[in-house]
Amino acid sequence: MSQEFFQPPGSHAGAWNRQQLARLEHPDRERTMPKEPVLAALAIAPGMHIADIGAGVGYFTFPMARVVGTQGQVLAVDLSLAARDEITLRAGHLGLPQIHALLCGAERIPIADASVDRILWHTVYHDLANLPRAIGESSRILKPGGRWVIVDWMKLDTGMGPPLGIRVARDQAETQLTEQTGLHVVDRFIPGPVTWGLVMEKSANAG
């Protein structure tokens, strides 16, 4: 299996350039990081508002947008100007006005409190510049009763992906997330051969 996609130069913590972003569309990605288990965990419905944090060029943004429809919204959050421009261009060509690309990091998202029904973090947890602040920000924007799906690299030698030393085990992430946010875990799943997944929800009566 080719490993070009899985070994981008530099850190995920910064803005990726066009060469790095192109690797997110590598044909091998669907085999190692299939979309369907993640989309199923999100349990998306028409009309929902979703934040795709670390969206890249829209691997999940576009399929989510088709589900929420024009009455919903998908916010594609990424630090990369190239990613924002690519998503905006593709959304226009595909007739998906419900996609809005935001040029910002996970640590500061310029939207209102309790404004999204779903949040997706896909393979960004291990490499965020300020993880506690990013966790707090996603918790802030999630509506009461909302769902947050976190997927990241297994903390073992998968033969591809980020260095083992910066990976985070699912149990460690679960402890940090629950202690900081008060959200509760509703599912743990294995979305593919190299990743773990957590599904968290905010209490419906959360203030």
Q: What is the pLDDT of residue 10?
A: 37
pLDDT over 90 (residue 75): yes
Residue 6 lies in a domain: no
Residue 16: its pLDDT value, please? 52
| Number of independent structural domains in the chain | 1
Q: How confident is the model at residue 6, as a pLDDT? A: 41
- The residue with tokens 């404004």 is 115
Report pLDDT digits (tens) over 94-132: 999 999 999 999 999 999 999 999 999 999 999 898 999
pLDDT at 23 (0 to 100)? 56
Q: What are residue 74's DSSP bridge partners?
A: 50, 99
pTM of the model: 0.88
- Asked whether residue 195 carries a pLDDT value surpassing 60, the answer given is yes
Residue 132 falls inside a structural domain: yes
Look up the CATH number of the domain holding residue 84: 3.40.50.150
Distance CA 197, CA 138 (A): 17
pLDDT over threshold 90, residue 165:
yes
Instruction: Decide if 1 is inside a domain.
Output: no
CA dist 38 and 199 (Å) reads 10
Distance separating alpha carbons of residues 17 and 187, to the nearest angstrom: 34
User: CA-to-CA distance for 57 and 12, rounded, in angstroms?
Assistant: 14
pLDDT at 13: 47
- pLDDT at 187 (0 to 100): 98
pLDDT value of position 28: 72
Assess if residue 44 is contained within a domain: yes
Whether residue 97 is contained in a domain is answered as yes
9 compared with 113, residue with greater pLDDT: 113
Residue 160 covered by a domain: yes
Classify residue 11: in a domain, yes or no.
Answer: no
- Please give the residue range of the domain that contains residue 179: 18-201
- Report if residue 13 sits inside a domain: no
Task: Judge whether residue 11 has pLDDT over 80.
Answer: no
How confident is the model over 48-53, as a mean pLDDT?
98
Q: Is the pLDDT of residue 73 over 90?
A: yes
